[in-house]
Amino acid sequence: MKKCSPFSLGATLYMPATRTDLLDVVLKKKVTDLRSLVVCLEDSVAESDVEIALRGLGELLAGIDIQGGRPEGGPLLFVRPRNAEMSAMLNDWLLIRHVDGFVIPKLRLENTVDWVSSVANPDLLVMPTLETAEAFNPSTAAELGQALKAGFDERILALRIGANDLLGCLGLRRHRMFTLYDTPMGYVIPMLAGIMGAQGFALTAPVFEQIAMPELLEKELRLDISHGLVGKTAIHPAQIKPINDAFRVSSNDLDCARLIVEQGAPAVFKFNDAMCEPATHYRWASNIIDRAKWYGVRAHAVAA
């Protein structure tokens, strides 16, 4: 199994498997700053186009194989199957070795066993998506986390939060003038971040639907990062750079993090007029260092 940091995801772009330019994206001929791509066979593909989409995925994998594999520095590549049955079929494809893993849609406690058995290939990472009504229930979320750990263990790269589907459970769609945190997701995201984060899972932030509202996207990203989310789904390539830039760390945070993880660091010390306690802040510091590795440092940024 490939070792992978959840911070390597950055802005994740979903593209339907019916598109004809997928190979160009994988080979970095298009959308050159993309860090992670999900080829979708689920909601973005009509039922009548499923066979076309499967052929498209097969052609993509064959094209990668002809090239001798994916290029160094290209985007991580995931596939989102339509259901567990399709997942089991794709799991057995020989050329699925060119894929980093599967994104699991509509995960529920009752279908977790089906999904675990359908992604039996130990080399495939998984990113389960929390996007059903169960995600509103803290006790069910905690139980789901335990089931995922038992079934997939370290193969889970991150949990994805599907806010559009969650709002759909309530008959809502986000207002274009507000962040997700101004909707019922303002309860769900912190709750999932707490319950799943405490179990050791990384979580990614939901998509921001508006393409032409960069200031609101920036505001939502600050809230995403303050809740410990590690990446964000992009609706359009224009969002990739703003998302990745938002995850840069401040030089102050990076300096502080390095002091905290330093062997022999004092049990308590002051840095930049704030108390630092390695026993408490070690995980935060490790995450800051990992973020800096993938996104870099901005010298004059608000700490996150």
Is there a binding annotation on residue 245?
Answer: no
Contact 156, 142 (CB under 8 A): no
- The residue among 186, 183, 199 whose CA lies nearest residue 227 is 186
Using CA atoms, how far residue 281 sits from 43, 119, 166, 190, 266, in Å, is: 40, 35, 32, 19, 12
3-state secondary structure of 102: strand
Contact 230, 8 (CB under 8 A): no
Q: Token digits for 17? A: 């498997």
Tell me the Cα Rg of the chain. 19
Give the β-pairing of 274-276 and 269-271. Answer: antiparallel
Binding residues: 165
Binding-site members for Mg(2+) are 165
